[in-house]
């Protein structure tokens, strides 16, 4: 069947799928606070937008934050204005982006093939480990994926089922929204490359004549989306006229875009870094590559542009992000929906293949045995060393047994699913176990890990020690510390050298020595604080934290030069 017409049953199946996706992806929202490394940064900037009323320029404490455009922070602030709860609001943009991506993936599959293929494409995407993990986090990448998928939706409908100029213009506009979200939204326009190839080689794609102005309308739509943020930001920065705002403009328009791509300075990885990502992190969808590959070759030889365009675009994205030295696994997220779309037409046939059912069954059984064994060994007092180190870093104390029970329980679900569904329905067994794993992570593990991961426990302890009437200053702090503080805290810059932060904090404290406390990273204390008079707060995010009042300072001491940004260049 190759019809995009949806019956009442097709529509019912789609809405049931979306309801399941909503419940599955939303599980756990409201049970945790933002976790490093990125979540507290964006949530803090969003909260400061709401509190200050300045939505054009994100701040990290007192300093401007120029690493990313403000789209995610706008959406977090806007959702807070609706729900009035930060624990919910900070995760909603990712959830909405994930649901939008699933719906668009379904719709592309429905329109290019039929509703069943659309459902297979969306279902394959929802099964991917990395997709679920990232959509359950408050980072920029799910939102970028959503905008780029919307852009690809518009371009594919125009290129393959057009002419559809409204879809084309919307796609170009969505690419512009992707630019003001992270800068890489323009990559959606790489879809022109496989389209032009197919058109020049005589494949079945949309052909237009005397439509130059309409094609140029896409460029205008793309620039119009960017202008929604760029023009007001430039005008406001010029009006404020300070070096700080001039530096912000230079940083966000040049340093964080082309310069960062050409001279990536962090997250260095080899050129083949993404190959394990698209195979292991994209499980179980990546199992479909084995059966899809010969079918891709067959259909590409038959000049099927429905395979060429999404698959060719995903390959170009992979190439683009493989070139620079700096790489991160989430950079490829926009390619996931297109790969799911390219795999989906063959999934029904592949699900009947013995090799796939047996492989999925074996994976479910293996995952179950490994997880259950780890959990039972840990409960018996013999946790694997890697897990033991994680617990030590997180300073979890008495909560660890609850985690071991969770591992054992999830392992038991995997094994039970494998035994129940058996080899004949091995894919069902694997998906059931994966679903149990994500639900346990969302509603069981996240609340247990929250205090140490978010610094909520440390900052709650700070509040108990200094009392409700004290003032709090921060030196060598991280975003989660300022975010989770129970009162407005004074910071002395984020990226400034620690000695400068320390000197300014000490001068601030001297103005009211009895009521002002300084919260400081262990490695930033140096020789100028008598630790016997200071108060150790505890361990969070792999760091130790202290509090001190003015009487703990060593008279006349000058802090020595220390590492910038909290004396701890490592990631959270």
3-state helix, strand, coil in the chain (%, to 5): 65, 5, 25
Do 94 and 88 form a contact (C-beta atoms < 8 A)?
Answer: no
516-521 and 471-475 as β-strands: parallel, antiparallel, unpaired? parallel
Nearest to 188 by CA among 179, 197, 196: 179
44, 508, 501, 482: CA torsion to nearest 10: -20
Q: Which of 475, 476, 496, 474 is nearest to 485 (CA)?
A: 474
- Residue 353 reports pLDDT greater than 60: yes
What average pLDDT is seen over the chain? 91
Token pair in block for residue 556:
């006349």
Position 384 pLDDT exceeds 90: no
pLDDT of 570 = 38
User: What is the SS3 assignment for 369-422?
Assistant: HHHHHHHHHHHCCCCCHHHHHHHHHHCCHHHHHHHHHHHHHHHHHHHHHHHHHC
pLDDT higher than threshold 50 for residue 312 = yes
How far apart, in whole angstroms, are the C-alpha atoms of residue 534 and residue 553?
Answer: 9
* Secondary structure class of 548 (helix, strand, coil): strand
What DSSP state is assigned to residue 334?
T
Confidence of residue 393 (pLDDT cuts 50, 70, 90): low
Q: What is the mean pLDDT of residues 285-308?
A: 96
CB contact set of 337 (below 8 Å; sequence gap of 6+): 101, 104, 105, 121, 125, 145, 149, 152
Instruction: Give the three-state DSSP class for 567.
Output: coil
| Residues 309 and 340: beta-carbon distance below 8 Å | no
pLDDT digits (tens, 9 = 90+) for 515-569: 999 999 998 888 889 999 999 998 877 788 999 999 999 888 877 654 444 444 3
At residue 406, the pLDDT reads 93
Domain spans, the chain: 102-351, 354-452, 456-552
High-pLDDT (> 70) share of the chain, %? 92
Distances from the Cα of 117 to the Cα of 142, 205, 301, angstroms: 23, 20, 21
Picking from 88, 214, 110, 95, the residue whose alpha carbon sits closest to that of residue 156 is 110
Kindly report the CA angle at 110 between 108 and 114, in degrees rounded to 5? 145
Give yes or no for residue 179 having a pLDDT over 90.
yes
Which residue reads 């909503």 in tokens?
A: 22
Q: Which of 137, 135, 134, 104 is nearest to 122 (CA)?
A: 104
Does residue 369 contact residue 411 with C-beta atoms inside 8 Å?
yes
Q: Note the pLDDT tens digit of each residue in 216-261.
A: 999 999 999 999 999 999 999 999 989 999 999 988 988 766 666 6
Phi, psi of 76, deg, nearest 5? -65, -45
Rg (CA), the chain: 26
Residue 515: count of CB within 10 angstroms of its CB? 13
66: number of CA atoms within 13 Å, CB side?
Answer: 20
pLDDT category at 274 given cuts 50, 70, 90 is: very high
Pick the residue with more confidence: 511 or 540? 511
Alpha-carbon distances of 439 from 346, 406, 410, rounded to whole Å: 29, 11, 10
* Higher pLDDT among residues 302 and 379, named by residue: 302
Range with lowest mean pLDDT among 7-21, 119-133, 478-492, 556-570: 556-570
Q: What is the sign of the dihedral through the CA atoms of 126, 161, 183 and 263?
A: positive
What's the confidence (pLDDT) of residue 568?
Answer: 41
DSSP code per residue over 240-275:
H--HHHHHHHHIIIIITTHHHHHT--SSB--TTTHH
User: Residues 49-76: what's their mean pLDDT?
Assistant: 94
CB 351 within 8 A of CB 288: no
**Cβ count near 235 (within 10 Å):** 11
CA distance linking residue 52 with residue 425, whole number of Å: 56
Q: Report, as an integer, the average pLDDT of 72-78.
A: 97
For residue 561, cis peptide bond before it (omega within 30 degrees of 0)? no
DSSP string across 456-494: HHHHHHHHHHH-TT-EEEEES--HHHHHH-SS--EE--S
Share of residues in the chain with pLDDT > 90 (%): 78
According to the model, what pLDDT value does residue 571 have? 41
Q: Compute the average pLDDT of residues 124-151.
A: 97
Nearest to 128 by CA among 368, 13, 289, 316: 289
CA distance linking residue 242 with residue 230, whole number of Å:
18
């Amino acid at each position: 069947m190759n019809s995009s017409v949806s019956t009442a049953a097709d529509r019912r199946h789609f809405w049931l799928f979306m309801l399941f996706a909503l419940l599955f992806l939303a599980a756990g929202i409201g049970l945790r606070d933002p976790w490093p490394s990125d979540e507290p940064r964006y949530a803090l900037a969003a909260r400061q937008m709401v509190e200050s009323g300045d939505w054009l320029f994100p701040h990290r404490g007192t300093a401007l934050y120029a690493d990313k455009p403000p789209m995610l922070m706008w959406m977090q602030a806007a959702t807070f204005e609706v729900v009035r709860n930060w624990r919910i609001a900070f995760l909603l943009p990712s959830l909405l982006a994930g649901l939008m991506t699933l719906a668009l993936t379904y719709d592309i599959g429905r329109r290019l093939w039929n509703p069943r293929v659309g459902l297979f494409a969306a279902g394959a995407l929802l099964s991917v480990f990395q997709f679920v993990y990232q959509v359950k986090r408050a980072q920029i990448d799910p939102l970028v994926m959503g905008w780029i998928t919307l852009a690809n939706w518009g371009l594919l409908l125009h290129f393959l089922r057009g002419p559809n100029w409204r879809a084309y213009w919307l796609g170009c506009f969505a690419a512009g929204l992707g630019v003001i979200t992270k800068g890489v939204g323009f990559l959606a326009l790489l879809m022109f490359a496989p389209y032009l190839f197919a058109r020049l080689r005589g494949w079945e794609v949309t052909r237009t004549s005397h439509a130059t102005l309409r094609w140029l309308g896409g460029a205008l739509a793309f620039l119009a989306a960017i202008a929604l943020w760029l023009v007001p930001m430039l005008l406001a920065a010029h009006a404020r006229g300070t070096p700080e705002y001039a530096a912000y403009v230079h940083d966000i328009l040049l340093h964080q875009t082309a310069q960062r791509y050409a001279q990536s300075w962090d997250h260095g990885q080899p050129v083949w870094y993404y190959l394990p990502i698209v195979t292991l992190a994209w499980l179980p969808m990546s199992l479909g590559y084995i059966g899809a590959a010969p079918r891709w070759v067959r259909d590409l030889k038959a000049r099927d542009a429905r395979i060429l365009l999404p698959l060719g675009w995903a390959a170009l994205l992979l190439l683009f992000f493989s070139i620079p030295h700096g790489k991160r696994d989430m950079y490829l997220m926009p390619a996931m929906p297109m790969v799911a779309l390219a795999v989906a037409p063959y999934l029904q046939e592949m699900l009947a293949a013995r090799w796939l059912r047996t492989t999925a069954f074996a994976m479910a059984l293996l995952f179950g045995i490994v997880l259950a064994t780890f959990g039972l060994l840990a409960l018996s007092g013999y946790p694997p060393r890697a897990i033991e180190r994680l617990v030590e870093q997180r300073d979890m104390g008495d909560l660890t047994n609850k985690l071991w029970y969770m591992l054992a329980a999830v392992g038991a679900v995997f094994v039970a699913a494998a035994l129940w569904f058996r080899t004949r329905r091995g894919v069902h067994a694997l998906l059931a176990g994966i679903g149990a794993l994500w639900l346990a992570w969302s509603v069981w593990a996240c609340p247990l890990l929250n205090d140490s991961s978010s610094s909520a426990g440390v900052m709650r302890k700070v509040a108990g020690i200094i009392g409700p009437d004290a003032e709090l200053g921060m030196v060598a702090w991280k975003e989660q510390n300022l975010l989770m503080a129970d009162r407005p805290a004074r910071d002395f810059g984020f990226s400034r050298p620690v000695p400068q932060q320390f000197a300014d904090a000490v001068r601030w404290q001297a103005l009211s020595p009895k009521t002002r406390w300084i919260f400081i990273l262990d490695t930033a204390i140096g020789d100028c604080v008598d630790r016997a008079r200071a108060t150790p707060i505890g361990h969070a995010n792999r760091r130790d934290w202290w509090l001190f009042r003015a009487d703990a300072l060593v008279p006349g001491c000058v802090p020595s030069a220390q590492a910038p940004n909290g004396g701890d260049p490592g990631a959270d």
